[in-house]
Amino acid sequence: MVDSFYQCPLCGFTGELLTFRGRLHAQCPQCRSLERHRLQYAVLMQVFARWSPAGKAALHFAPEASFKALFARTFLHYETADLAAKDVDHQVDLQRLPFADQSYDFVFASHVLEHVADDQQAISEIRRILRPDGIAILPVPVVVEKTIEFSEPNPLQDYHVRAPGLDYYERYQTRFSRVETYSSCDVDAACQPFIYVNTDCDSPLRVDGAKLRDLVPVCYV
Ligand SMILES: [Zn+2]
């Protein structure tokens, strides 16, 4: 495959992707999807092939435009939620969800938990509202080897309250029976699921001199 010819699985675009915030081959010029969206989409297709979403209920936190249409047509019931945004079905705090136990089959919250102070409570809440056959997909930006907790939102790191490490997804294992973690190396490289970096860094997710892999954890009740 030539570097400059990729296929966006979300919208069908083929060709070169745009540089975004200094990251090469990052953004689809047609649907604006980023590396993580294309990776997550590819993982969702693998998950849905084994776990049918037909007839099920989904709750989507901090809903990205990239996935709204997909979830709305895939699930029987689809609802959105956010702490601050107004254009969602539920304006709620992940640490205190106003939903009954076992209300949903699927929860998707990407790049959310690194903003939540009591993430253990949020993970418990997500587990509580899921039905016995439910799934939660909860990716965060893994940036270090070992997770670092900040005492307050860090303005130098997009106001995250922690820098998640490679060990972060272990927190899901205490609440869920099984966690499968997919990486950029597990999907078709044509969708360009890697994070290209043009500076030297010692990320534990480095694949080669140019790029990092990203991770998508799938948590089973
Ligand atoms: Zn696209």
Query: What is the C-alpha separation between 55 and 32, in angstroms, rounded?
Result: 29
36-182+216-220: CATH topology is: Rossmann fold (3.40.50)
In this prediction, residues 70-75 reach a mean pLDDT of 97
Is it the case that residue 198 has pLDDT exceeding 80? no
| pLDDT tens for each residue of 3-21 | 568 999 999 999 999 999 9
22-40 pLDDT, tens digit per residue, is: 999 999 999 999 999 999 9
Nearest alpha-carbon partner for 8 in 43, 35, 47, 48: 35
If you measure from the C-alpha of residue 16 to the centroid of ligand 1, how many angstroms do you get, rounded to a whole number?
Answer: 11
Q: Nearest-5° angle of CA 102, CA 71, CA 161?
A: 70
In the reported structure, the alpha carbon of residue 10 is separated from the centroid of ligand 1 by a whole-number distance in angstroms of: 5
Task: Compute, in angstroms, the gap from residue 111 CA to the centroid of ligand 1.
Answer: 20
Between the CA of 182 and the centroid of ligand 1 the distance, in Å, is: 21
Q: How confident is the model at residue 218, as a pLDDT?
A: 98
The predicted-structure confidence for 37-57, as pLDDT tens digits, reads as follows 999 999 999 999 999 999 999
Residue 32 is encoded by which pair of tokens?
A: 């604006």
3-state secondary structure 65-94: HHHHHHHHHHCCEEEEEECCCCCCCEECEC
- Between CA 79 and CA 89 the distance in angstroms is 6
Confidence of residue 202 (pLDDT cuts 50, 70, 90): confident
pLDDT at 155 over 80: yes
Copy the structure tokens of residue 189. Answer: 């490289």
Give the distance (Å) from ligand 1 centre to CA of residue 117: 33
Contact call for residues 63 and 110 (beta carbons, < 8 A): no
- Residue 4's pLDDT is what? 65
Distance 19 CA to ligand 1 centre (A): 14
